[in-house]
């Protein structure tokens, strides 16, 4: 199975000037663990995860004042839609993160998470373990 089969093509995007609270509200409303940060000034893509928000709040920072750009990961590992889910899982394990931005060429086409991969793999595992009845 490929990343294109598991990824979400509808992604939450926020700007670098959003506050952490604004981003957290959007992420909560969409029930997603990450938002893509689009910075038109740098033409760059970054990612803000629930862990980034949690770390900032845990450090005592004010989520109403903290801008997203101060907590955005910009050194991002990107996946391609044609990657296998095993390739994506290996990249996540190697980088110790749970989301990959999916690009086709230079275009943002989706995001894939550990949960997406597990969701695809779980039915295959269940089917493989089920006894065959004649």
Can you give the residue ranges of every domain in the chain? 3-129
Predicted pLDDT of residue 41: 78
Lookup result for tokens 């995007």: 13
Nearest to 6 by CA among 97, 93, 124: 124
Lookup result for tokens 């992604």: 11
For 20-69, write each residue's pLDDT tens digit.
Answer: 999 999 999 999 999 999 987 776 899 999 999 999 999 999 999 999 99
User: How many Å apart are CA 35 and CA 62, to the nearest integer?
Assistant: 19
Task: Give 40 or 117, the one with higher predicted confidence.
Answer: 117
What's the mean pLDDT in 60-88?
A: 96
Nearest to 2 by CA among 109, 127, 126, 106: 109
Are residues 104 and 78 in contact, defined by beta-carbon separation less than 8 angstroms?
Answer: no
What's the mean pLDDT in 75-99?
A: 95
Arch. (CATH architecture) of 3-129 = Roll (3.10)
User: How crowded is residue 57: how many other Cβ atoms within 10 Å of its Cβ?
Assistant: 15
Predicted pLDDT of residue 131: 57
């Amino acid at each position: 199975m490929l990343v294109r089969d598991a990824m979400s093509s509808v992604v939450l995007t926020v700007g670098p000037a959003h506050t952490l609270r604004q981003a957290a509200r959007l992420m909560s409303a969409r029930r997603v663990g990450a938002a893509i940060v689009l910075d038109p000034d740098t033409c760059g893509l970054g990612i803000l995860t629930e862990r980034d928000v949690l770390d900032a709040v845990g450090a005592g920072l004010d989520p109403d004042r903290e801008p997203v750009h101060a907590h955005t990961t910009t050194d991002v590992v990107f996946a391609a839609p044609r990657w296998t889910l095993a390739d994506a899982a290996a990249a996540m394990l190697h980088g110790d993160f749970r989301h990959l931005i999916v690009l086709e060429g230079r275009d943002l086409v989706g995001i894939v998470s550990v949960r997406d991969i597990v969701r695809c793999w779980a039915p295959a595992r269940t089917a493989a373990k089920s006894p065959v009845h004649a």
